Amino acid sequence: MNTSHDNARYDVVVFDVGGTLLGFHNRAPFQAFLAQAGLPATEDDARTLYSRLMALIQQKRDSAQGLGARGQELSDWWHGIFRLAWPERPDLAAEMLRWLFDGRFDHLYDDVQPTLAGLQAEGQRLGVISNFGSHLPGVLEHFQIDTYFDFVIISAAVGVAKPDPRIFHLAVEASGRPPDRLLYVGDHVGDDVEGARAAGVDAVLVDRGDRQPGALCPRIGSLGELLRYVRVPRQPARAIILDMDGVVLDSMPHHLASWQEALAPLGIALGAEDLYPIEGVPTERTAQLLTERFLGQPCSVEEARRLATAKRAAFNRIFFPRLVPGMAPLLHDLVGRGFALGLVTGSARSVVEASLAPLGVTGLFRAVVSGDEVARGKPDAEPYLRAASRLGLEAGQCLVVENAPLGVEAARAAGMACAGLATSLPAERLAAAGADPVFATTADLREWLLARWRGE
């Protein structure tokens, strides 16, 4: 009997299909189809047909979702797409539809079978939620992955489509497990991540090719990274990695005031409820998120840099470094017990050094990762994985302390346990993001850490 599942964070992993398990991005099948039809079948011909299809699929996406939500099949929708993509040969649309339903226009991503086999070996149950038509089981069988799945939920069959949370509720029901024991994996922020979250199901975005760098959700570049999501970190922890602002430094009110000053010329009246939930995101990205939310239009890279510079100038002028009450004795106690300490922040390295040096705690941290040292900041796993690497430890040997939801998500995405410290937001917000447990004060956190965890 496999015992690794006893230590799993999740019991069930559920997958989207298109863009997650199967790709529609290979031109070779279109070239083969043209050749079979006795038509010009050069790479350019296949590329032209493929490009038309991609444009039409994107354009007609919403209408396809509507069909699934009404319990209707997608065959007519696809037939219409093929006729529009190839107006000079509408007679071949039916044959293209047959190829589609046989799975011949799709390809299985290389990481799918090893990942499904690995998860199954870990004791995970697997499922599918898809806005595909009823031909999906045949497609899964064609690629020889159908036997991995305990259940397959198709929008056309159940009369509800992603991102409606009801289709995720059906997966919860089919699994027989509570929502927080399921993990959903998909390639679309709205349909997959937000839909799952609305049903109380954790979700991770698979972003092949790094096409969605600004997505504020846990993100992986391939399915091969999934195993770290389903494993609970080993105990005891050998390192404690702390967020800086709001956990180590009592700085969040000053960050709020400096952002208010930087954004006021744009007519933006910023409140704590706007800033604190996205704390931990690198400064330039924060500028983009806030301006886009309030002004309803994209923020250029140049404008984001200008606002970030103004914000930093205001912060440097008004901030006087001080630790969160009770943090100094906690840090010294942890080091004295043999823990390695790490620090992860969305702030620039220069800000970190200027803030910590006057407080005499810089030397306590064996590893520091700042926002200007990573390609992808929180909620991506990169900052915490980089900290673990610098500490010379595996992710499962680290415990994170965070005060913001995106930081909690980043820690969990890295496969690390995460405790919450409710200095900026209500404990319920941190718990909803996955922090467990959550503490109201540093004293409570210290008591728990020293009683439950020990360094080596």
Residues with catalytic roles: 243
In whole angstroms, give the CA distance from residue 423 to residue 419.
13
Contacts of 414 (CB under 8 A, 6+ apart): 228, 381, 384, 385, 388, 395, 400
Q: Bridge-partner residues for 205, per DSSP?
A: 186, 219
In whole angstroms, give the CA distance from residue 189 to residue 212.
9
In whole angstroms, give the CA distance from residue 159 to residue 373.
47
Residue in the block written with tokens 């309803």: 296
In whole angstroms, give the CA distance from residue 349 to residue 292.
26
Contacts of 241 (CB under 8 A, 6+ apart): 341, 342, 343, 344, 367, 384, 387, 388, 391, 398, 399, 400, 401, 411, 416
Q: Which two tokens stand for residue 441?
A: 């004060």
Q: What does the angle CA 115 – CA 435 – CA 149 come to, to the nearest 5 degrees?
A: 25
